Structure 1
Amino acid sequence: MNKNKILANVENGKISPVFALKQLRGEDEHRNHACKEQLWELDPIKELNQLVGLDNVKQLVTEVTAFLSIQKRRKEEGLIAEPVVMHMIFKGNPGTGKTTVARIFGKIFKHLNFLEKGHLVEVERADLVGEYIGHTAQRTKEKINESLGGILFIDEAYSLARGGEKDFGKEAIDTLVKAMEDKKDEFILILAGYSYQMNNFLNTNPGLKSRFPIHLNFDDYSVANLMEIADMMLKNRQYKMSSKAKIKLFKMLKQKEQQDFYNFANARLVRNIIEKAIRLQAVRLVNKKTITKEELLTINEIDIKDE
């Protein structure tokens, strides 16, 4: 009930002034709570801190925030300020949060007034490498221009160097290197991929490695981390697991860890299992004549199945 309706009800004698005052206070509290929730959603640093693990990434944000603030103060005092270059290398297995963090970084750097837009342009080799001389440079420049004011994120970046000297991927690398210098204040370039391949890739161009002052390693998630991620995914969708469902998921993840230790810790695996569980729960409930709220909320053991 809005304010005008509450006041009208007082005038018509439908409710007492005391009761009306309580309703108005409750409405104000609701409005204030909604505003606080909205501010929470708009704060990208809080969004980052909600992610499971990634302590080194969160520490970097603390350092960068302090660094940008101090450089601004030094300029105001007429002191020499350090050049601010934020190009980055992300190393880690698929599903360890690299793309998610890149997207949040865009919001954070916009929040800090370092980036004008803070958007993320995500590309791979096929988006940059053309079919003839000059075509690759043109396509790469287009993606760079698209990312100005934000972040250009190249996943599996090492694939740009897989064809050797005569491959058009080298043309993309050279174009990127030039843009990193010419437009260093206008966008952030993030190259991502497996650790070993990324290390080899950075040695393909003498000027490449030195242009990335920030290198972040994305460690694999433990089973405990993945269970926490599963709980968070369900909570965000207003679901929860029964105790037996949690035990089954834990055993399933442990088994997968033992089967493929080096390629196991993947949050995408958990997301796929959870999304399938939600679908299976729906199939299980849809034909029931009566469904309780608790049943709608709960994912049971039978709903937890492999991808």
Structure 2
Amino acid sequence: MQKENCPPIKQWIVFNINIQELKKTYKINESLQKLEDDLIGLSSVKKRIQEITAILFMDKVRQDFGLSKYYPGLHMSFTGSPGTGKSTVASRMAELLQNLGYLTRGQLVVVSRDDLVAQFVGQTAPKTKDVLEKSMGGVLLIDEAYYLYKPNNEKDYGGEAIEMLLQVMENKRTDLVLIFAGYSEPMKVFYRSNPGLSSRVAHHIDFPDYTRQELLTIAKKLFQERQYQMSFYAEEVFLKYLDLRCQLPLFANARSIKNIVNRACFRLASRVMGHTGVFTYKSLINITPYDLILSTLFLKGLKIFPMTKIGYSTTNFDSKTIYQVLEYEKLNYVDKPGKVIRNAKVFDSYVWKNFYS
């Protein structure tokens, strides 16, 4: 029997929560599977997103047990080259945060410096405020965020936009998640120059460049989505394309792959319309080496990597000529009847049995 004036004994209600059912409620597995389906590779990025999701999910479970609510910092930094999936991951994060109840709307708004900073006095604040209002309840991704800060330009108003972002990051952190994105090195300088901004970014995620094989897988997936397919030898040509393209500046990973896929589809249409009398199922879906090697990249690269078994003449070589690839045994190429190209160089590593297969 409880004595008078003694505080009541606190009764703890013990119950169990079905984790799998709760995951279904918050659509955790569904969102993570979408991320897996959307992105090739990027295992380190996916692991970080899973870790962040686990923290947020655990916070929800703790609340169901009556434990205190803890709101973790959600502002993020995505660093890496263009075309490595930063916008895709941001979109999936917005969806996850909405499902877990951290965001009310879950939309993704992507902007750059020009969307926030004006050229004249008094115009930056309204522009930035308008973007922030559109982003409330969702995720705001600022691409190439380091362009907001120009310390050597006294007439630049990027600092005004940064101050407004800092206020929102602190005062509206339950209504808006900011993601700053850009190349790794400039982003480091950007954060060192803005310590208040850096301290408010809880999660720094680096997006690595895709490997050669991952880029090929991305291309095959894009072709498949459009109901095309590369022939076996077309895949070899595509890999040679990657070897050349990756050496050039402004290579944008998956974004560049998407461009070459689109152009290959255009070339297939032009080839079939111009040289095929009867349409067949194969002619409508089969991407051949011909549809890839016509890229101007190969025309430039022929001086270094002649894409042909027969090689080229050191005395009379036209870099704009695309050579037809012959069978492996046919090494003696005859330019004109009775005349063999002399001093021809052979590149065995660039051989395809059938150029048009």
TM-score (norm 1): 0.80
Q: Aligned to 1:47, which of 27, 34, 38? A: 34
Within 2, Cα distance between the matches of 1:190 and 1:213? Answer: 10
Q: Is the 8 A contact 2:75 2:179 kept in 1?
A: yes
Paired position in structure 1 for 2:189: 200
The alignment partner of 1:200 has SS state of helix
> Among 257, 270, 276, which residue is 1:283 paired with?
270
Where do 1:195-274 residues align within 5 Å? 195-257=184-246, 259-260=247-248, 264=251, 266-274=253-261
Query: What is the CA-CA distance between 1:72 and the residue it aligns to?
Result: 1.5
CA distance in 2, matches of 1:174, 1:64: 27
Does the aligned pair in 2 maintain the 1:93–1:263 contact within 8 Å? no
Cα distance in structure 1, aligned partners of 2:34 and 2:202: 24
- CA deviations over 1:184-222 (Å, ceiling 9, x no partner): 011110111110000000122221101011111011111
Gaps of 5+ in 2: 1-26, 297-357
Instruction: After superposing the two structures, state which structure 1 stretch, 220-229 or 103-112, moved more.
Output: 103-112
- The amino acid across from 1:180 in the alignment is M
**1:215 alignment partner, SS class:** strand
Q: Look up the match of 2:177.
A: 188
Which residue is equivalent to 1:69?
57
Q: What is the aligned partner in structure 1 of residue 93 from structure 2?
A: 105
- Alignment partners' CA distance in 2, 1:62 and 1:95: 21
Q: Which has the larger radius of gyration?
A: 2
Q: Which amino acid aligns with 1:297?
A: I
Equivalences, count:
265
- 207 and 165 in structure 1: CA distance in 2 versus 1, 3 angstrom threshold: farther
The DSSP-based 3-state class of the residue aligned with 1:45 is helix
TM-aligned CA deviation for residue 68 of structure 1:
1.6
Would you say the 8 A contact 1:115–1:150 is kept in 2? yes
Distance across 1 between alignment mates of 2:251 and 2:266: 24
Q: Aligned match of 1:157 in 145, 156, 163?
A: 145
- The offset of 1:269, in angstroms, is 1.5
Supply the distance in 1 between the matched residues of 2:280 and 2:100 (Cα, whole angstroms).
46
Letter in 2 for 1:193: G
Q: Partner residue of 2:17?
A: none
Q: Distance in 2 between matches of 1:160 and 1:64?
A: 27
What secondary structure is seen at the aligned counterpart in 2 of 1:286? helix
What SS does structure 2 have at the residue aligned with 1:217? strand
CA contact (8 A) 2:45 2:205 kept: yes
Corresponding residue SS for 1:78 = coil
Unmatched tracts of structure 1, length 5 or more: 1-39
Residue 114 of structure 1 and its aligned partner are, at CA, apart by 2.3
Q: Which digits, 9 at most, give the CA deviation of each residue in 1:173-193, with x for residues without a partner?
A: 010000001110111101111
Length-normalised TM-score, structure 2: 0.70
Which residue does 2:302 correspond to in 1?
none
**Identical pairs, percent:** 39
Query: Where has structure 1 moved over 4 Å in runs of 4 or more?
Result: 262-265
**Partner of residue 127, structure 2:** 139
Q: Distance in 1 between matches of 2:107 and 2:71?
A: 22
Classify 1:78/1:246 alpha carbon distance in 2 versus 1 (closer, same or farther; 3 Å): same
Q: Distance in 1 between matches of 2:70 and 2:225?
A: 41
2:32–2:50 Cα contact (<8 Å) kept: no
Q: What is the CA-CA distance between 1:304 and the residue it aligns to?
A: 0.8
**Structure with higher helix content:** 1
The corresponding residue for 2:347 is none
SS in 2 for 1:207: helix
SS in 2 for 1:208: helix
CA distance in 2: counterparts of 1:59 and 1:124, whole angstroms: 27
- Please give the alpha-carbon distance, in whole angstroms, between the structure 2 residues aligned to 1:73 and 1:244: 53
Displacement, 1:164?
A: 4.2
Which residue type is aligned with residue 33 of structure 2? K
**Within-5 A mapping of 1:56-95:** 56-95=44-83
Cα distance, 1:263 vs. partner? 5.4
- Structure 1 residue 266: Cα displacement: 1.5
- Tell me the residue number matched to 2:116: 128
Structure 1 residues 298 and 44: alpha-carbon distance in aligned structure 2, compared to 1, 3 A threshold:
farther
